Structure 1
Amino acid sequence: MTFKKTLLATTIAFMSANVSADITDSTFVLAAGDPLVSQQWHLQNTGQSGYSLSSGVAGNDLDIDFSHLMGIKGRGITVSVIDTGVEIAHPDLAANVVPGSINLSDGTDSPIDLNGHGTSVAGLIAAVESNGIGGRGVAPLANLIGFNYLSNQTVASWFVSHGLSEDFRQLDRFTDPRVFNQSYGSTPAVPQALDYVANPFTEVQDLVLQDITQNSHWGRGAVFVKSAGNSFGSYNTYYKGLPIQVLPYEDGVFYNNNGLPFHSSNISAENNNYWNLVVSATNAQGKLSSYSSVGSSVFLTAPGGEYGVNAPAMVTVDLMGCDNGMNQEGEHSNSLHGGSELDPNCDYNGVMNGTSSAAPNTSGAIATIMSANHALDSRTVRHLLATTARKTDADNTGVDLSFEDAAGELVTYNAIPAWQTNAAGYNYHHFYGLGAVDVDAAVYKALFTGVSLPKQQITQWKTTTSNVEIPDASLNGAQSTITNESALIVESVQVKLNIDHSRLRDLAIELVSPSGTRSVLMSARTGFLGGNEGGYTDAVMLNTHFYGEEAKGDWTLNVFDTDKGTSYTLGYNPQIGLIGFNSRNNEIAGVLKDWSIRIFGH
């Protein structure tokens, strides 16, 4: 980018003596001092292998050159790691740990991590830089606190780890988190109903997230970052008390889902909650990571890598010692592991991946942006990320689904569009949201942003009763329209659905904005095991595709049935073998009963 080249050239004279840079060909080299940083491709991708068997493609990274050169690295921003815990004594984390961590098992200030996942997440966010060991974090000067929430999932633990004190009063210390990282999630096998009566805690969670997002830190608020999930091709659940792997089956081929995601990020209630910024994952080639869940609830994408064997994963902090964590003694395909010369004590690993990695990379990015301008409120930070996100995998053509309709004709449906530009000029792809996080571009804007977004408004749910048939295997689907009178600029849209249908995997659900932008709320071939009370019952879906568009006008919902019974959902358990789900086609047309919409905007 031109501004980066200019600023790199003009600021090089002001760099401190301990920062090493090579601006030949306008390429900034990260400061020395961490022996593993050269393999941390998510920070600066030069085509390295990350200790795996193959290399990435240069340039596919978070783009942090300018920010790190200028010393903008998260100082003064605290990130909360809500996870398996954090080994806060780790020598590459300890200097950035501040008071506030809690062991939710015993109330002490040591959130013991017996798994290593949370410790690796913390390392991606804010591992210490230039201390002669390991690598570094995206925001290596940020503060860290941690919670071992995943082994202590009580209501009280949720409140404490998500920003409330033990007596349920919001904290207001300077070191309280402005970023909350949630590298966890669920993969429901049936649609989830938004039912505050049956599940009042859901409403309380929503109110708490809203309050902290809007009102903490004297009105500047905080950002809750959420991983989209790791279930693109299959997922795991329980059937009659037994664990099963759930997978697609079509044309006589296992795991064949015609290139479509098998599990949508929009199914989980945590992912279709507006107050969570949902992130999908890319690999070191800048393409969708093979496992990453996707959907219209995804706001951004960030590096998550692959598995660290055949292709690069993340290089980050691990539990200390060769008997703990992901890096242990023995033979490994990742050359960093097993007590290597670079890491003889096995304190780091090269196999951390998943949207569990994309989320902390985004959290570190947000901490960096916030530290560039501490006055920015959380919505403005989100806006800067949206306006600076860049296309990745720009040639991705989406997915066309061909199927035989009820009349026996072969028809084609554009099930996942290629990159689209919405009516407000924002790029969008259902795999990548508004695009890849670009730290430098967002930081540059943050430095010169003095005005926050106008006050947010949230419309009431507006509902229409449709009772429109959904014909079997037909592109002549159900259609229904709601007119919105509120003259807002869209930040996000939520839709709530009630549909009767016996094979939800057949359905594709679209929303068309008043400006004519078509967006897929739920892609066809999603691997449900069944419906919720016969279909979708008060199922909520979030959409970020319409960011910046005008909300006033007609919003149209389209529902198509794309299969007359040729594709199936299977479950597998070694004890009981294969189990068939959705094996019978829906002989009676489904019905779009009613739907509702509400707008988050300004």
Structure 2
Amino acid sequence: MRISIGRIGWHILTVLITIALCNEHDSICDESTGNCVEPTHTVIRLAKRDDQLARRIAADHDMHVKGEPFLDTHYFLYHSETTRTRRHKRAIVERLDTHPAVEWVEEQRPKKRVKRDYILLDNDVHHASPFRRSVLSRDGSRRAQRQQPQSPREIPSLPFPDPLYKDQWYLVSFHLIIRFLFVTFQHGGAVGGYDMNVRQAWLQGYAGRNVSVSILDDGIQRDHPDLAANYDPIASTDINDHDDDPTPQNNGDNKHGTRCAGEVAALAGNNQCGVGVAYKAKIGGVRMLDGAVSDSVEAASLSLNQDHIDIYSASWGPEDDGKTFDGPGPLAREAFYRGIKNGRGGKGNIFVWASGNGGSRQDSCSADGYTTSVYTLSISSATYDNHRPWYLEECPSSIATTYSSADYRQPAIVTVDVPGGCTDKHTGTSASAPLAAGIIALALEANPELTWRDMQHLVLRTANWKPLENNPGWSRNGVGRMVSNKFGYGLMDGGALVNMAKNWKTVPEQHICTYEYRLANPNPRPIVGRFQLNFTLDVNGCESGTPVLYLEHVQVHATVRYLKRGDLKLTLFSPSGTRSVLLPPRPQDFNANGFHKWPFLSVQQWGEDPRGTWLLMVESVTTNPAATGTFHDWTLLLYGTADPAQPGDPVYSATPPTSQGVLSRVQQLTSQVRTFFGGFG
């Protein structure tokens, strides 16, 4: 009897065999493709920094140390070329684990990380200078400069003579009439003619002086004629090759970081390209995407010179494919925490992140653990005509928006390019995050004492939703602020941000209030087919401990398993009635493992009183009545303060709607959903 396996059968068999072989060699395997990932290096942690001891331990184990330590006491170790077999390497790591001086050891495997831009077909590049890469040494010049008295602010003479300045429509609205006609023709009267009001900050003399920004990416061309005078070697390094030169390879694929750097700090008035938002800021770059990106590579990048660097800008993340859940590993999470705790002399580093480009695949930035971190400002994008771009991802963790590209018919972002040239085709949320970093640099010049939390307060308070009001999805939260899953609190406003920053008082101490939902039955709750589950938690704001009466971030850590993860939808209701879709359905996500204590984040309840009944709605949009799974647990984490953020802030009612009121609202929404879908299966 002949057995016909068929094409699908052969694929499944190949995957199973490949996974078995990979497991034999201790590799990480993708269950859907069978692709295996070998470790690239090993990281050890010592009790204290001791470079000589680290090198000795490495040599004793037929390994060698590369680069500088990161997170103070962590070292990159690489096997020698004579150590060839996987079994031998694994035995070496096991011996390292028993070494008395080694507190922790872990093999590091590469992660899939993507840049958040896309290619426009008519990509005009104006070349200006040759390109070279050479290793340089850091010196203390920038640190010494920071200790000098701040130079008086200079009021620029506008317009700048830089040839592409006239095309920077998002900074200064030269195109008012053209944009008005364009959006009227395209959209029948959509709001047009806005910019991000950077000119108002410039005219007060703010240009980012004494602020250092580092671009975490594929490197930056440090000798670019429009960047060289602002280049900061102390905010720069090469993690990929373990040297001090962040210059990217000149292979056509590594222009991304240089473009992002130009948005922030391209020189003004030098007749080159356009101008950076913070054209007097110091700009550095970390070359970390041009090679295997592991947890340790990310941590080393995020923790570089945290007392020196003010702002880290990242325009990358996990794949925006509509089916990935991924985020920072334990080392990167530690780097974030140390940054906000100790960076900038205890005021905290500011981490700016691009929200993601997976909109065309119905992806959500809620599945990206970098944008759902309490420690990052997640920045979304808007188009030339004040609409949602096709690549935009929705999530309640986005705090604000800057302009970026749409399609080839609309203007994109002007910046510098590799090798030594200019472009007016920078795109995606990749372009939005650096613009936000530049605007934040203006505010830090206006008030260098701002903490990382101060900046989040300022960004959301000064964001302008009016330019984007014609987009659906806006709602008013419990303190009267308009907010959107697409755009956060609106378009960043440079002038308003600087003006508010100048007189801002440091916010009160942050408290964290935690509530854990416990199922009546200790076993996970079975779920079948299309379902809706409502889970409520009564919250008193931890009044007897570390009270949270004025909300900042809200996190939900949830564990759910389901046949198709992409059919799940999670919605959170606050006592004030604010509704946040934590996770929308993602049709391309066929993962059957669900998620385990995933940290969903919302900034949409900012300023509300958390006391009252919170409700988490978990539902499925499946059309498969046989789909099964289990709901395991959820925990509510409330971040905020016991007192108002600023003296004179309004005090909102501490008597929120009752649990019955919240449930009534949910029942109304459920009825609408049932009507739309024709009832639940």
Q: 1:427–1:388: structure 2 CA closer, same or farther, 3 Å change rule? A: same
Shift of 1:472: 4.0
Contact 1:286 1:392 in 2 (8 A): no
Q: Do structure 1's residue 459 and structure 2's residue 513 form an aligned pair?
A: yes
Contact 1:46-1:58 at 8 Å conserved across structures: no
Distance across 2 between alignment mates of 1:423 and 1:459: 19
Query: What SS does the aligned partner of 1:60 have?
Result: coil
The amino acid of 2:166's aligned partner reads: S
Choose the corresponding residue for 1:38, options 166, 169, 180: 166
Does the Cα contact within 8 Å between 1:396 and 1:419 map onto a contact in 2? no
- Counterpart of 2:404 (choices 304, 309, 313) is 304
Pick closer, same or farther for the CA change 1:587–1:219 going to 2, 3 Å.
Answer: same
The 3-state SS of whatever aligns with 1:531 is coil
**Residue type of the partner of 2:482?**
N
Residue 103 of structure 1 corresponds to: 238
Aligned amino acid, residue 310 of structure 1? R
1:146 partnered with 2:146 = no
Question: Match of 2:263, SS?
Answer: helix
- Structure having the larger proportion of residues in helix: 2
Please tell me whether the aligned partners of residues 399 and 489 of structure 2 are also in contact (alpha carbons under 8 angstroms): yes
Whether the aligned pair in 1 keeps the contact of 2:467 and 2:491 (CA below 8 Å) is no
Aligned residue number for residue 314 of structure 2: 182
Residue 81 to residue 480, structure 1, CA distance change in 2 (3 Å): same
Distance across 2 between alignment mates of 1:293 and 1:266? 9
Instruction: Determine the structure 2 residue equivalent to 1:328.
Output: none
How far does residue 209 in structure 1 lie from its aligned partner after superposition? 0.7
Work out whether residues 61 and 284 of structure 1, in 8 Å CA contact, stay in contact via their aligned partners in 2: no
- Write the deviation string for residues 362-383 of structure 1: whole angstroms up to 9, x where unpaired: 1101111111111221211211
Structure 2 CA distance for aligned equivalents of residues 525 and 107 of structure 1 = 39
Contact 2:556–2:600 at 8 Å: present in 1 too?
Answer: yes
1:443 corresponds to: 498
Distance verdict in 2 for CA 1:356–1:514, change over 3 Å: same
Equivalent of residue 576 in structure 2, options 509, 515, 533: 515
Query: Residue 637 of structure 2: which of 584, 598, 601 is its match?
Result: 598
Partner SS for 2:258:
helix
Q: Which has the larger radius of gyration?
A: 2
What CA RMSD, in Å, does the superposition of the two structures yield over aligned residues? 2.7
Q: How far 1:521 moved relative to its partner? A: 0.5
> Tell me, what secondary structure is at the counterpart of 2:498?
helix
- SS of corresponding position for 1:144: strand
Q: How does 1:269-348 map to 2 (within 5 A)?
A: 269-307=369-407, 309-320=408-419, 347-348=421-422
Q: For 1:11-26, list aligned pairs within 5 A.
A: 19-20=157-158
Measure, in 2, the Cα distance between the counterparts of 1:72 and 1:18: 9
Could you tell me which runs of 5 or more consecutive residues in structure 2 were left unpaired when the two chains were aligned: 1-151, 642-681
Q: What corresponds to 2:590 in structure 1?
A: 529
Stretches of structure 1 lacking an aligned partner (at least 5 in a row): 1-13, 21-30, 166-170, 195-200, 235-261, 322-346, 399-417, 565-584
- CA deviations on 1:467-506 (whole Å, 9 max, x unpaired) are 66656446xx210012233241211111111223223333
C-alpha distance in structure 1 between counterparts of 2:502 and 2:371, whole Å: 30
CA contact (8 A) 2:561 2:629 kept: yes
Change (3 A) 1:561 1:393: farther
The 8 Å contact of residues 390 and 436 in structure 1, kept in 2 or not, is answered as: yes
**CA–CA separation in structure 2 for the residues paired with 1:15 and 1:58:** 32
Is 2:632 the partner of 1:558?
Answer: no
Q: State the one-letter code of the partner of 2:260.
A: V
2:248 match: 113
Amino acid corresponding to residue 349 of structure 1 in structure 2? T
- Aligned pairs for 1:126-141 within 5 A: 126-141=265-280
Contact 2:277 2:438 in 1 (8 A): yes
Question: What TM-score comes out, normalization by structure 1 length?
Answer: 0.72
Using the alignment, how far apart are the partners of 2:575 and 2:367 within structure 1?
25
Report Cα offsets for 1:32-73 as digits up to 9, x if no partner. Answer: 22111010112123337999xx78974332211210111111
- Match for 2:509: what amino acid? K
**What secondary structure, in the 3-state scheme, does the structure 1 residue paired with 2:458 have?**
helix
1:72 and 2:206 correspond: yes
| Paired residue type of 1:108 | D
Distance 1:157 1:561, change over 3 A: closer
Map of 2:554 onto structure 1 = 493
Higher RCO (CA-CA < 8 Å; seq separation 6+): 1
Q: Is the 8 A contact 1:64 1:439 kept in 2?
A: yes
Alpha-carbon spacing, 1:527–1:140, altered in 2? closer, same or farther (3 Å):
same
The answer for the alignment partner of 1:481 in structure 2 is 536
Q: Distance in 2 between matches of 1:193 and 1:317?
A: 31
The structural deviation recorded for 1:458 is 2.2
Say whether the 8 Å CA contact 2:571–2:616 is kept in structure 1: yes
Quote how far apart the aligned CAs of 1:191 are. Answer: 6.0
Percent of paired sites with the same residue: 28
After TM superposition, the structure 1 stretch with the greater mean CA deviation from structure 2, 67-76 or 298-307, is 298-307
Q: In structure 1, how many angstroms separate the alpha carbons of the residues matched to 2:294 and 2:326?
A: 21
CA contact (8 A) 2:240 2:289 kept: no
Amino acid at match of 2:391: Y
Indicate conservation of the 8 Å contact 1:193/1:538, yes or no: no
Count of paired positions: 467
Contact between 2:401 and 2:491, CA under 8 Å: does it hold in 1? yes
Task: Look up the match of 1:407.
Answer: none
Q: Is the 8 A contact 1:264 1:526 kept in 2?
A: no
Counterpart position of 1:358: 432
Q: CA deviation at 1:290?
A: 1.3
Change (3 A) 1:314 1:461: same
Give the whole-Å Cα distance in 2 for the aligned partners of 1:65 and 1:459: 41
Query: How far 1:397 moved relative to its partner?
Result: 5.7
Letter in 2 for 1:95: A
Trace 1:218-229 onto structure 2 (pairs within 5 A): 218-229=345-356
1:266 is paired with a residue of what secondary structure? helix
Amino acid at match of 2:318: S
The correspondence for 1:159, drawn from 299, 302, 307, is 299
Q: Secondary structure at the residue paired with 2:233?
A: coil
Deviations 1:222-275 (A, max 9, x none): 1101111111012xxxxxxxxxxxxxxxxxxxxxxxxxxx10001122222211
**Deviation digits for residues 348-393 of structure 1 (CA, Å, limit 9, x no counterpart):** 1111111100100111011111111112212112111111111155
Contact in 1 for aligned 2:263/2:275 (Cα 8 Å): yes
